[in-house]
Amino acid sequence: MKLDVKAAAITVGLLWGLLVMLPVGVANLIWPNYGQGFLDVMASLYTGYKATASVGQIMIGTGYGLVDGAIAGAFFAWVYNRFAKD
Residues 68 and 16: their CA atoms lie apart, in Å, by 8
E strands along the chain, which residues?
Answer: none
Q: What confidence score (pLDDT) does residue 85 get?
A: 81
Number of domains in the chain: 1
pTM, entire model? 0.91
DSSP, collapsed to helix, strand or coil, labels residue 37 as: helix
Task: Write the CA distances from 19 to 7, 16, 35, 79, 85, integer angstroms.
Answer: 17, 6, 14, 24, 32
Could you report the per-residue pLDDT of 22-68, keeping only the tens digit for each? 999 999 999 999 999 999 999 999 999 999 999 999 999 999 999 99
Structural domain including 70 reads 5-83
Q: What confidence score (pLDDT) does residue 75 get?
A: 98
